[in-house]
Amino acid sequence: MKRLLLSDGRSLAWREAGEGPPLVLLHGWAMSSAVFTEALEHLSSRFRVLAPDLRGHGASEGGPGYGFGDFAADLREWLDALELQDAVMGGWSLGGQVLLELYPAVRRRVSRLMLISATPRFASRGDWSKGLPEGQIRVMARDLERNYRKTMGDFFALQFAGEEIDSARYRRILDFAVRQGTLPEPETALVALEALRRGDQRDCLNGIDCPTLVLHGDQDLVVPPAAGRYLAEHLPRAELTLYSGVGHAPFLSRPREIFEQWRSFCS
């Protein structure tokens, strides 16, 4: 792990491998950069792959806030410190929403975006039916308070629900993506979940003016595929790939296919 001391005294940690054009990958809610272990291994022969831990996640220190803007502020400082140019940036789930928030501030450093199982609004409401019901999110928050580790385990399993995934492969994913990372503190997970519940980024989509790959699984029970279609329809330069039989974590379910697509898009 590498570390940067931020201007407020906190540290931001990241994994890095390879040389070449920069490829930055942002993880999802309550996960860490460990989820991209295979991506670093497979893509580092052609790219400089960087996977930061969001504040309060993995090895990065926490902060006073966990909204999209808070995560983005740390990443902006990190990108400026590394002086990255012409970077492809990919965001998975919450990481995708952080990326939507971050893009206007770093657009001069970014050449392309990848939005993986992402959405402009996580929770459903009257004019948005492409998210999780608010009641389901509130129940999840309650369960996190009652039994944090069990709820986190159930949420991780939900990401693969409806898939035909080999049990040995699932255990392998658990080993590198979860056990080799660090779960956030329960309070951090709860506050970040509340930010997901409240957040709405539909108004900012027209400002995303670079080529964007929207990638989604058609079995996703965390972020409905309709949200991916919405992104592809409302981002000015987007293309959509919908993977059949895949849930919320396509790069874990179909790594060879996904990494080949990323290589092609990034090149």
pLDDT band at 57 (very low <50, low <70, confident <90, very high): very high
For the beta carbon of residue 204, count every other beta carbon within 10 angstroms: 13
Nearest to 58 by CA among 41, 42, 35: 35
Segment 192-220 shows an average pLDDT of: 96
Q: Return the DSSP state at 185.
A: P
Confidence check: pLDDT of 267 > 90: no
pLDDT band at 179 (very low <50, low <70, confident <90, very high): confident
Q: How far apart are CA 100 and CA 88, in angstroms?
A: 13
Per annotation, catalytic residue among 27, 42, 57, 248: 248
Confidence check: pLDDT of 140 > 90: yes
Per annotation, catalytic residue among 33, 93, 117, 253: 93
Q: Note the pTM of the prediction, 2 decimals.
A: 0.97
The CATH number assigned to the domain holding 227 equals 3.40.50.1820
Residue pLDDT, tens place only, 77-125:
999 999 999 999 999 999 999 999 999 999 999 999 999 999 999 999 9
For the beta carbon of residue 257, count every other beta carbon within 10 angstroms: 14
Contact 202, 97 (CB under 8 A): no
Non-local (6+) Cβ contacts of 81 within 8 A are 4
Instruction: Please give the tally of structural domains in the chain.
Output: 1
Confidence check: pLDDT of 48 > 90: yes
Q: Is 93 a catalytic residue?
A: yes
Per annotation, catalytic residue among 53, 70, 74, 220: 220
Q: Is 220 a catalytic residue?
A: yes
Q: How far apart are CA 9 and CA 40, in angstroms?
A: 28
Q: Which residues pair with 192 in a beta bridge?
A: none
**Domain hosting residue 126, numbered range:** 2-266
Nearest to 29 by CA among 98, 88, 78: 98
